[in-house]
A and B are shown apart, each in its own frame.
Chain A
Amino acid sequence: MFLYRTYTVMSPQKRVKNSQAQKRTSQGRNTYQTSLSAWKVKEKPSDSNIWKQNPVEAHEHVDDQAEDTLQMAVGYFEKGPIKTSQRKNTILEKHLKTVENVAWINGLAPETIDILLNVALSGKFGNAINTRILKCMIPTTLISEDSVVKAISWLCVGKCSGNTKVLFYRWLVAMFDFIDHKEQINLLYGFFFASLQDDALCPYVCHLLYLLTKKDNVKPFRVRKLLDLQAKMGMQPHLQALLSLYKFFAPTLISVSLPIRKKIYFKNSKDLWDSAVLAVRLRNHGHFSEPLKLTLVPVDLHPLKRKWNSHSVIPKLNSGSYTKGHGKKEMSLSDHLSCNRSLPLEQLQSFPLLLQNIHCLELPSQMGSVLNSSLLLHYINCVRDESLLLRLYHWLSQILQEECIWYKMNDYEHGKKFTNFLDTIIRAECFLQEGFYSCEAFLYKSIPLWDGLCCRSQFLQLVSWIPFSSFSEVKPLLFDHLAQLFFTSTIYFKCSVLHSLKELLQNWLLWLSMDIHMKPTMSSPLETTLGGSMNSVATLIHYVGWLSTTAMRLENNSTFLLHFVLDFYKKVCDIYINHDLPLVVLLPPGIFYASLLSLDTSILNQLCYIMHRYHKNLIAAKKNELVQKAKSEFSFSSKTCQQFNHYLTTMVGCLWTSKPFEKGISIDPKILEKSGVVKFKNSLNIVHHPSLLSYAATFVLQESPEERTINMSSIQGKKWNWYLDYLFSEGLQGLKFFIRSSIHHSSVP
C-alpha cells in the first residue's frame, strides 16, 4: 500500500514525499482515497537506514506522535459532530488546536487539506469552526486541484454562509500558486464569473479571475457584463484590474480607458496567511518551480508609454490574430476571439510546443519581433515564406537606417543601443547561419560613410554574413569602399578585415556546398551555373589575394599580418576536399615568397601545411577529373598546376635540396658578392633557413654540448633524419606533412 508520512523536517525525505504526494494527487479521483483507512497505514520507508542516520531522528519521533494526533483530529472532523455537548466541545477544541498547530508549523498534506476543506464547506460545524479550519488550510507544499474543485462544488449547494464563502475565496487567492494544476479550475471560469454578481464576493472573485484568466476566457459577453458591473458599482479597483487584463488580451474588445497609475488593485488577500505563505514558499523553493511558472500572469500589464517609433527597437511579440481578422470580410470580433485553432505566440514557450503547432502557428503581427525569439527563428528557418521575409526585410532596413549612429549626431547612449541591436541581428544571423538581405543593403548604404571605428566588430561581422552573390557585383558597392579603409587604417584593422573576409568565404562555401547538394540545378538568378558561382568565389579569393599582397607591402611584411593572410589561405587550399566544390586557387607570389622567406618559424610551418593541403586537393581534383569526364568544364587550368609545381620546386629547393630559385629568379652575381653570401646556394635548406637556424643550433648543441663552434653542416646523413625528427617533435606539424607528402624518401641525400 502506498506509504504516506504527513510531515517531516528534512528536505531529502520531503522531496520523496512530495513527489509521492504529487503522484498520488495526479492519479485522479479513483485512487484518491478519502477514507483514512488507507491513509492511516504506516510503513517505514525502504531507505530506513538513512532515517536512522539522521541526526534529527529524535525529532522524528516527536513528529510521529504529532502525526498520530493529527490523524485522530482529522478523523474526528471527517466523522462530523455527533452531539454538541460540553464535553464534545472540548474534544473539538483539542482537535482543532492540533490541526492548527501542525498546519502553522509544518503545513498540511494535500489529503488532509482535501478532507478538511470538505468539512469546512459542507457546514457540518458552525461558522466559527469553519472559519478556523479554513484559516489553517496551509499546505506543506501544494494543494491538489481536485480538492479545490470539490470545495467549489460545495459552494453551489449553499450550505455555507456568505462569510465562509468570502474566506474561501480569499484563501483560494492566497494559495493560488500552490495548487498543483489549474486546468479544471479554469473550466469553472464561468461559475466564478457568475459569482461576480454577489457584491460581497465580487472583489475576491475578481482577484481570483484575475489570476485565472487566459486569453480564451476573454469573451465579448463577459466584457459587457464587466462593464455593466462597473456602471452599476462605479469605478472599483478590482473591476478595473480585471478589465485591464481583458484589455491586455483583447485590446480591440475594450475601448474604455483604464488608469495606469494605480498599481494595487486588490487588497492583499494574503495578509491572513502572509507568514504561512512565506513558509510554504520557502519549503517549495526549488522543488516546485513549475506550477508557479504556469500561473504567471502577463508580467507587463501596462505596456510602456508608447512613443513614436522609439519605445524599443525590436517590437514586442504579439500574435498576429489581430491582423488576420481583417483578411476575412465578415469576421466578427467574437469569431476572431473564439477561433483558437491556431496557437497564439504568447503560449509558445518550448520547442516541443513549436513542433506540435508548427502547422498552425500564428505569426507575430510585427515580424521584427522574431529577432528576440529563438523559437520563432527556428520557424523562420524552415518556412520559406516570401512575404514573411519581405516583412522582415522592410522593417529591418528601416530600423537599421534609422538607428544607425552616423546618420545622427554622436550620442553615446544611442551608440550603445545601436551596437546592442547589431549584436542581436548578428546573433540571429549566426543562429540561422544565413545573412539578411536588409543587412547587405544597409552595408551598401553605410559602408561609404563608415569611419572604420564605430561598431567595427559588428560591421565586419555583418560583412562576413553577406549572402552569397556575384562578387563582381558586390565589389564596387562594398569592397571598394572597404579597401579604402583597409589601406589607410592600422594593421589591426587590416587583420580584422582579413578575418571577416575569411568568415565570408567560409559562409559562402558552406552555403554553396549545401545548395549544390540540395538542388543540382541552381535556381538563383544571379548565378545560373555552378561555374558562375565558382567564378564568384574565385574572384573573392583573388580580391583578398590582391588586398593582402598590397597590405604586406604597406606593413613591411609584418609577421602578424601574414598570420591572418595565411589563415585565409588555409581555408582556400581545402575547398576542393572540404566542401566538394571544384575550385583550387593558389596563393599569390607576394604571399608565397614572403612566407617562405619569413623569419618566423610558425609562418613557414603554416605555409608548409597549406602547400601540403594544396597538393592533396590538386591530386584529388586530378583523380576526379580522370574518373568523371562530366566535370570537365571545371577542369583546373594547367596554369594552376604549373604554378603549384613551380612553388613546390622552389620550396623543396629552399628547404631540402639547397638549390633555391633554380628557375625563374636570377640574381646578379655582383649583388651576391656585395652581400658576402657567395655560397648562397647552400644557405637555404632546412638547416640554414633563417627561421629554422635556431632549431638547428639547439639540435647541434644537444648532440654535442661540449662543442665550441657550432658546425651546422654536420647535420647530414643520419643526423639529417634525426634533425627532422627533432623538428617534428618541436611541433612543426605543417613541415612534417609537407615533407612526408612532397619529398619521397628515396631522395633523401
Chain B
Amino acid sequence: MVPSLGGPSSKRDRMHVNSPSKQPLVTAAVGGQQLYISQFPCSHHTSQIKTMDPYNASESTPRQSATSGLKDYFIGATPLQRRLESVRKQVSVLPTPSRRKIPQCSQLQEDVDPQKVAFLLHKQWTLYSLTPLYKFSYTNLKEYSRLLSAFIAAEKQKGLAVEVGEDFNIKVIFSTLLGMKGTQRDPEAFLVQILSKSQNREGKVLWTGWFCCIFGDSLLETVSEDFTCLPLFLANGAESNTAIIGTWFQKTFDCYFSPLAINAFNLSWMAAMWTACKMDHYMATTEFFWSVPCSPQSLDISYAIHPEDAKALWDSVHKTPGEVTQEEVDLFMDCLYSHFHRHFKIHLSATRLIRVSTPVASAHTNGKIKILCHKYLIGVLAYLTELAIFQIE
C-alpha cells in the first residue's frame, strides 16, 4: 500500500532543505505510518508561469454581487415566489458563481468588540445552516436567556433526583456581536454562551454558539419582516448541548438547523481564496489533506507547503484583480496536483480533498472550521454564509 515515493532529486531542492524555516513538507501517511519527505513544491511551476502579472488585492474595487440585480426583477412578487425564483436561478447556474471577491478587511469590522473577536478565533467551530428565525426579537435577549436556561436545566437533569430550591448550575447569556456584518442590511450577529455557575467565581464557558449573516442579501430579499435571517450558525462545545439548544431554537422560532458540510469543490475555493489573502506574517503552515478510500483502512495524504510558497504559486496563476475565478482555482489546484504527481506518482485529482488549512483559516469537509486570522474574519464568514444560504435554498 505504500506509494513509491520519490526522494529529493535536484540540487536546488536540497538547497532549500537546508533552510528549515522555509522547509515545506510533503507528508504521506499510510495507515497511520507517516513518511516525511522534504520537497520544494513550486520550483518547477514558478519558473513556468513567472511571466504572469503579480497583482495587489487591496487595490482592486470589489465586484458587485451577481445576485443583487435580481431585486428589480421581482418587484411585486410574494416572498415565496421570490424564494422559488432564487432557487431556480441557483439551480440553473449550478454549481456556484464562477467568480468571487478575495476576502478583504471590512470597514464594518472596526466597531467589533476586539475581545469578542478574539474569543471567536482559534476555536474549532462546527457549522450549521439555519433557516430564518420567525419572530425573533433582539429586544428579548434577556428573556431568551432565562427561557433557554430553564429549558437546558430541565433537559439536563432529566432522570436525576430533583433538589428543589437549588438554582440551576448553569447560566445562559445571549449577547449581540455588534458590527459583525457585511452590509448594513445584514442582521446583527449574536452569541449564546452557557457558563457553569459556581458560588464564588466567574463561571467556566461550557458551550458557545453564534449566529451570523455576512452579505446575506440574496436571502434577505426573499423573506418578510417577521423573519430574522442568520443562516450561519457556529457551535463550539458538546454536541449534546448543541442538540438541546438547537431544539429550543427550532421550537421557539420555527427554524431548522442542518449540519453544513463542505465539499471538496468548496474546499478548493477556500484554499485558493485564503491563500490569496495578503498577510503581514505567517503564523501557520498551509496544509491539505486528501483521502483515498481503500480498504481496510483509508489512506490519508497530507501535503504541507510553506504559506509563502503557496502565495507565490497563487500569485503566478492569478490574473483577475480583486477576485478569484473558477479557472484560477482549478489551475491552482492542478499545479499542486502535478507537482505532487511528479514526485510521488500519485494523482491527487483522483482522491478526495478533505481538509484545507491556511494561515487565514482551516476547514474540514465535515463542517468544522477554525478561523485564525482576525483580519479576514468577515471574508471567511461571508463565504460560509454563502454556503449556508445555498444549503437552505
Q: Tell me the A residues contacting B by CB distance below 8 Å.
A: 227, 230-231, 235, 240, 247, 251-252, 254-261, 306-309, 315, 318, 322-324, 326-327, 329, 365-367, 386-387, 389-391, 393-395, 397-399, 401-402, 437, 440-441, 444-445, 469, 473, 476-477, 523-526
Smallest distance from the beta carbon of B262 to chain A beta carbons, Å?
Answer: 15
Do A526 and B81 form a contact, CB below 8 Å, given A323-B253, A326-B135, A391-B134?
yes
Judge whether B154 is part of the interface by a CB distance below 8 angstroms. Answer: yes
Do A477 and B164 form a contact, CB below 8 Å, given A323-B253, A437-B80?
no
Smallest distance from the beta carbon of A395 to chain B beta carbons, Å?
Answer: 5
Do A445 and B91 form a contact, CB below 8 Å, given A255-B150, A308-B242?
yes
Judge whether B393 is part of the interface by a CB distance below 8 angstroms. Answer: yes
Smallest distance from the beta carbon of A76 to chain B beta carbons, Å?
Answer: 51
Within 8 A of A (CB), among B72-123: 74, 76-81, 83-84, 87-88, 91-92
Do A326 and B143 form a contact, CB below 8 Å, given A308-B239, A308-B242, A445-B91?
yes
User: Does the CB pair B87–A394 fall under 8 Å?
Assistant: no
Bound form: Cα–Cα A240–B251 in Å: 25
Question: What are the residues of chain A within 8 A of B391 when measuring CB–CB?
Answer: 401
Smallest distance from the beta carbon of B226 to chain A beta carbons, Å?
Answer: 4
Smallest distance from the beta carbon of A401 to chain B beta carbons, Å?
Answer: 7
Question: What are the residues of chain B within 8 A of A324 when measuring CB–CB?
Answer: 135
User: Does the CB pair A235–B161 fall under 8 Å?
Assistant: yes
User: Does the CB pair B88–A444 fall under 8 Å?
Assistant: yes
Among B81, B88, B135, B246, the residue within 8 A (CB) of A323 is B135
Q: Tell me the B residues contacting A by CB distance below 8 Å.
A: 74, 76-81, 83-84, 87-88, 91-92, 131-132, 134-135, 137, 139-140, 143-144, 147, 149-151, 153-162, 164-165, 168, 223-224, 226-227, 239, 242-244, 246-247, 250-258, 391-393
User: Does the CB pair B157–A257 fall under 8 Å?
Assistant: yes
Bound form: Cα–Cα A402–B156 in Å: 27
User: Does the CB pair B80–A398 fall under 8 Å?
Assistant: no
User: Does the CB pair B157–A365 fall under 8 Å?
Assistant: no
Q: Which chain A residue shows the least CB distance to B157?
A: A257
User: Does the CB pair B164–A395 fall under 8 Å?
Assistant: no
Smallest distance from the beta carbon of B126 to chain A beta carbons, Å?
Answer: 12
Question: What are the residues of chain B within 8 A of A526 when measuring CB–CB?
Answer: 81
Q: Which chain B residue shows the least CB distance to A398?
A: B256
Question: What are the residues of chain A within 8 A of B92 when measuring CB–CB?
Answer: 476-477
Bound form: Cα–Cα A235–B162 in Å: 8
Bound form: Cα–Cα A309–B139 in Å: 28
Bound form: Cα–Cα A394–B258 in Å: 12
Question: What are the residues of chain B within 8 A of A256 when measuring CB–CB?
Answer: 154, 157, 162, 164
Most buried by A among B76, B256, B258: B256
Among B159, B247, B258, the residue within 8 A (CB) of A401 is B258
Interface of B is mostly: helix
Smallest distance from the beta carbon of B257 to chain A beta carbons, Å?
Answer: 7
Do A441 and B393 form a contact, CB below 8 Å, given A255-B168, A256-B164, A308-B239?
yes
Number of A-B residue pairs at CB separation under 8 A = 154
Extra 5 A-B pairs, beta carbons < 8 Å, given A235-B161, A322-B251, A323-B254: A257-B159, A259-B158, A259-B162, A390-B223, A477-B88
User: Does the CB pair B243–A308 fall under 8 Å?
Assistant: yes
Do A437 and B84 form a contact, CB below 8 Å, given A231-B164, A255-B150, A395-B254?
yes
Most buried by A among B92, B132, B135, B255: B135
Question: What are the residues of chain A within 8 A of B247 when measuring CB–CB?
Answer: 306, 308
A–B complex contacts, Cβ < 8 Å, 18 sampled: A256-B157, A257-B155, A306-B247, A308-B243, A309-B256, A309-B257, A324-B135, A326-B143, A327-B137, A366-B250, A366-B251, A366-B254, A395-B254, A437-B81, A441-B83, A441-B87, A445-B91, A477-B88
Smallest distance from the beta carbon of B282 to chain A beta carbons, Å?
Answer: 38
User: Does the CB pair A387–B168 fall under 8 Å?
Assistant: no
Bound form: Cα–Cα A449–B118 in Å: 43
Smallest distance from the beta carbon of A450 to chain B beta carbons, Å?
Answer: 14
Bound form: Cα–Cα A49–B371 in Å: 93
Interface of A is mostly: helix
Bound form: Cα–Cα A231–B164 in Å: 6
Question: What are the residues of chain B within 8 A of A309 when measuring CB–CB?
Answer: 246, 250, 256-258
Bound form: Cα–Cα A153–B134 in Å: 49
Question: What are the residues of chain B within 8 A of A366 when measuring CB–CB?
Answer: 250-251, 254
Bound form: Cα–Cα A365–B134 in Å: 10
Q: Which chain A residue shows the least CB distance to B131?
A: A394
Smallest distance from the beta carbon of B271 to chain A beta carbons, Å?
Answer: 25
Most buried by A among B135, B164, B250, B252: B164
Q: Which chain A residue shows the least CB distance to B165?
A: A231
Question: What are the residues of chain B within 8 A of A227 when measuring CB–CB?
Answer: 164-165
User: Does the CB pair B224–A365 fall under 8 Å?
Assistant: no
Question: What are the residues of chain A within 8 A of B143 when measuring CB–CB?
Answer: 326
User: Does the CB pair A326–B252 fall under 8 Å?
Assistant: yes
Question: What are the residues of chain B within 8 A of A259 when measuring CB–CB?
Answer: 158-162
Bound form: Cα–Cα A323–B250 in Å: 11
Bound form: Cα–Cα A230–B251 in Å: 30
User: Does the CB pair B168–A402 fall under 8 Å?
Assistant: no
Question: What are the residues of chain A within 8 A of B168 when measuring CB–CB?
Answer: 255
User: Does the CB pair B80–A389 fall under 8 Å?
Assistant: yes
User: Does the CB pair A390–B79 fall under 8 Å?
Assistant: yes
User: Does the CB pair B224–A525 fall under 8 Å?
Assistant: no
User: Does the CB pair B243–A307 fall under 8 Å?
Assistant: yes
Bound form: Cα–Cα A365–B253 in Å: 7
Bound form: Cα–Cα A230–B163 in Å: 9
Bound form: Cα–Cα A295–B393 in Å: 45
Among B88, B132, B154, B226, the residue within 8 A (CB) of A247 is B154
User: Does the CB pair A398–B392 fall under 8 Å?
Assistant: yes
Among A387, A523, A524, the residue within 8 A (CB) of B226 is A387
User: Does the CB pair B80–A394 fall under 8 Å?
Assistant: no
Smallest distance from the beta carbon of B224 to chain A beta carbons, Å?
Answer: 5
Question: What are the residues of chain A within 8 A of B131 when measuring CB–CB?
Answer: 394-395, 397-398
Question: What are the residues of chain A within 8 A of B137 when measuring CB–CB?
Answer: 326-327
Question: What are the residues of chain B within 8 A of A315 when measuring CB–CB?
Answer: 250-251
Q: Which chain A residue shows the least CB distance to B81?
A: A525
Do A386 and B87 form a contact, CB below 8 Å, given A247-B154, A256-B154, A257-B162?
no
Smallest distance from the beta carbon of A444 to chain B beta carbons, Å?
Answer: 4
Question: What are the residues of chain B within 8 A of A254 when measuring CB–CB?
Answer: 154
